Structure 1
Amino acid sequence: MFRRIKNIFHLINAFIAVIYYRFPARGLRIIGITGTSGKTTTTHIIYDILRNAGLRVSMISTVKAIINNKNYDTGFHVTTPSPFILQKFLREAADGASKIAIIEVTSHALDQNRIFGIPVEIAVITNISHEHLDYHLTLNNYRNIKAKIMNGAKYVILNKDDRNYDFLKNKAKGKTIGFSLNKLSDVNIVDHIHNINLPGKYNQYNILASKAVAVILGVPEKVIESSILDFQAIPGRMEEVKTNRSYKVIIDFAHKPDALEQVLIASKKMVKNNLIVVFGCAGLRDRQKRSMMGEIAIKLADYVVLTAEDPRTEDVRKIINEISTGCIKAGGIIAKRSDIQKNILNKKRKYYWQIPDRQEAINFVLRNLASKGDLILICGKGHEKSMCYGKVEYPWDERKAIEKALYGSVKTTS
């Protein structure tokens, strides 16, 4: 009941924002992207394709907004901004050269009516898996909220390989276009598009969803292919941090079970020696996923280090202990930092460490645990610029934390 009342307030707020900014979406073709994983990358790929095709386009994603070629560092923790910020961006886009706007949309934004007054012409749902059940309570509620993006959409682009495809297709009123790794689908992968800078099977799905949008908008095949082949990974998504060490360090925003599993699978194909993953789970968020992520990490990585990731008002040690239940279930054995020096680790066993301080966790991995040929995957923060303890957002930069661990200080630029 409380949430319904709160959502009415959100709707009123969105209604006022639409009027204040004079219905900006009316002058734009809107592409809405939602899904559990892949939203940001898909949004950016679509933007690159349309821009390279000479179309006048703006974009609002987790990482940044690009409005009429002007960049804004959004830093949104919630992906989709408040109605007033969103409508302001759209008004700027409509008043400028843009004819198309691509918007990354979360389930919270859909439930809270943040995109009220923004008619989505092309709706994309990348996939649906376990996430935000602290808010939505059940998977069925969650996928029903995700399906709201299809309301009124002329075109609906869905993942045919996702287990929720039939459910979503039955709800869609617009023309449905399915994408799949199966060559019998409406949109499928072509051999030479595998040669890209985006590793992992999950990125092939992001590419397919993007290609489907481009086809609808009449972008020539050559432009689609060249844009995909030239696409560079976006900040915080399988981003390699260059070092002078003999191991590789990658940061990724993966903070959900499915996303963690996918980046670990992709990383295993790239590693020469041990795969080490560092991650945590956010406080005051879906507790069910914590043990799931611990189990996934132990099964797929060689070493696991559990640490903080926006604990908020929860005790970070309690969060780590809940993740650890999954590690134990998968056969993981807790280890001490001193075990490295003592050289008592059994190579045939899977070990995990509990280091609540994220900087200390990164220090330990890069200074003591990692060796030649290893791949260190640091997950959960990605592009974000802050870490929440209590109710305070403290400055945090994953790249600077890595630099501090390696060199003892952060380099400054003049």
Structure 2
Amino acid sequence: MSSVTRLTVLLAPWVVIDPAHERLVAGLTLDSRHVQPGWLFLAMAGSSRHGLAHLDQALANGAAAVLWEPGAGHDAEQVQARCQAAGAIAVPFKGLAAAAGHLGARFYGDPSSALRVIGVTGTDGKTSVAHYTAQLAEQLDGPSAIMGTLGWGEVAAPMDSGLTTADALTLQSRFAELRDRRVRTVAMEVSSHALAQHRTEAVRMDVAVLTHVGRDHLDYHGTVEAYRAAKRQLFTRSGLQQCVLNRDDELGAELLAAPDRGASALSYGYHAEADLRILSTAPEATSLRVKALLSGIQRTLVLPVLGEFNAMNAMAALGAFVGDYPLDDALDALARIQPVPGRMEHYRTANDALVVIDYAHTPGALEAALSTLRHHLTGRLICVMGCGGDRDRGKREVMGAAASRLADTVIITDDNPRTEDPADIRAAVKAGCHPGSDCREIGDREEAIATAMAMARPGDGVLVAGKGHESQQVIGEAVIPFSDQAVVRSRIPGGLH
């Protein structure tokens, strides 16, 4: 990993500075709290605040130079004076957000070029597909890593990552660390926010995978069209070797026919023209049997996961390796994939009811989880669900409608209400429930889960939806420890699957 780089070399050809202002840069960051002596601080315009709001902290921590994005309300002379007083230089840089990743790549020696990087995007399924992909890579090609919602690092023990896709500089730093650890393949989730904010622009992507695109993050993108346009960027970038596309998805079908697609394409799905075609699925007690047509040959796979939609997730992961590895080897690896924490994670109660924890927090994901879980049951289906606050309000009634249509009993509880009134969120969800359906409100999430489990009888199933792997709950400004898994395990003898 690079130790120091001259500022003039780092910035050329974007910005030319006076050689008299040359500095040796020992590190770079967007976070003023992480600045160390001799580092470069990048101050960019954010959605609510500008990085210059943290300039004093960056200078106090020893920033040698500050790259800042000019904009209304910021006086260049004042910024320069504050930096000069601290012994640093200030360099205005138009378009800094789009260039930040390239600066990081240059500083760290373009680390992603030394790795095979497989990017996964979509509304639902990103995390599962990325983890299955990393597991396949580990078996087929040696040391592999994951970057995404559940963390980053080696597949067996990822570290907490905060965001689904890290900021542009952090990404380059992590790629450099993985390169230096001799990792060969990285499977990474690529969020719509990351694409819209240019975070992955300097990542050399080899394969891009599309899961399913529905409705999400409209609080940020504004419209479904803008959200889809952000996703589309991953597949029209230069340097791609292959696109793996969901043939059953509207955007996937569109990209298959797109003249500006960045690479050759391989499709998967139930569609008769899919290259990796699912013929049928059959749920078993703790697995999923899948019949598929692969390379013109019918195959039967037994996957150690729950959920019909995991057949699609498995095909998406498989698509990233077709053509590069013997198909039989890839299928053997696929048969050994492990469930992803918080993604159809299943437990059996003492009286043989099935409890499943899933991250489903969109209408499509909730509907898929309920529909597929029903096939594993002989009794009733109970759903514990809610919606997050300060997020897309339009999906609340839609999710209430889906839950009441597909479950026998719905317990509406709090997810992460954030700064909204939790009762208002629950009321909006309940307003979508079908008349006459059994929809109840229990705001306390632990009580809601405990009530659902107490109701379950042999052959019944409980879906605890919305938070999945999360270990915290955000209520108002407070972030409190909370884990659906811990609550479920505490009510099962031994706490085991």
Distance 1:197 1:15 in 2: 41
Asked if residue 30 in structure 1 is aligned to residue 124 in structure 2, the reply is no
User: What is the Cα deviation at residue 15 of structure 1?
Assistant: 4.4
Q: TM-score, normalised by structure 1?
A: 0.86
Distance 1:388 1:4 in 2: 20
Asked if residue 366 in structure 1 is aligned to residue 426 in structure 2, the reply is no
Of residues 316, 324, 349 in structure 2, which corresponds to 1:209? 316
Partner SS, residue 232 of structure 1 = coil
> Structure 1 residues 86 and 393, CA, compared in 2 at 3 Å: closer, same or farther?
farther
Distance 1:312 1:3 in 2: 18
Q: TM-score, normalised by structure 2?
A: 0.73
Which whole-Å deviations, capped at 9, do the CAs of 1:170-227 have from their partners, x for residues lacking one? 14132122212235322223265442122333212111111111114x1111111111
Which whole-Å deviations, capped at 9, do the CAs of 1:326-355 have from their partners, x for residues lacking one? 11xx22x4xxxxxxxxxxxxxxxx201111
Aligned identity (percent) is 30
Of residues 372, 386, 392 in structure 1, which corresponds to 2:472? 386
Asked if residue 95 in structure 1 is aligned to residue 202 in structure 2, the reply is no
The 5 A counterparts of 1:111-150 are 111-150=196-235
The 5 A counterparts of 1:206-355 are 206-216=313-323, 218-327=324-433, 330-331=434-435, 333=436, 350-355=437-442
Task: Report what 1:180 is aligned to.
Answer: 269
User: What is the Cα deviation at residue 2 of structure 1?
Assistant: 7.4
Gaps of 5+ in 2: 1-44, 51-68, 70-94, 279-291, 293-297
Task: Report what 1:163 is aligned to.
Answer: 250
Distance 1:164 1:269 in 2: 28
Asked if residue 52 in structure 1 is aligned to residue 159 in structure 2, the reply is no
Distance 1:39 1:46 in 2: 10
Q: Greater shift after overlay, 303-312 or 222-231?
A: 222-231
Task: Report what 1:86 is aligned to.
Answer: 171
Q: Which has the higher contact order (CA 8 A, sep 6+)?
A: 1
Q: Would you say how many aligned residue pairs link Structure 1 and Structure 2?
A: 386
Does the 8 Å contact 1:276/1:375 carry over to 2? yes
> Structure 1 residues 71 and 21, CA, compared in 2 at 3 Å: closer, same or farther?
farther
Does the 8 Å contact 2:221/2:227 carry over to 1? yes
Does the 8 Å contact 2:120/2:210 carry over to 1? yes
If each structure's helix is expressed as a fraction of its own residues, which one has the higher value?
1
Which whole-Å deviations, capped at 9, do the CAs of 1:264-296 have from their partners, x for residues lacking one? 111110111110000111111111111110000
Distance 1:99 1:401 in 2: 37
- Structure whose alpha-carbon radius of gyration is higher: 2
Cα RMSD of the aligned pairs, angstroms, is 2.4
Q: Greater shift after overlay, 205-214 or 17-26?
A: 17-26
Partner SS, residue 206 of structure 2 = strand
Gaps of 5+ in 1: 334-349
Q: Greater shift after overlay, 54-63 or 145-154?
A: 54-63
Does the 8 Å contact 1:241/1:399 carry over to 2? no
Does the 8 Å contact 1:49/1:223 carry over to 2? no
Partner SS, residue 314 of structure 1 = coil
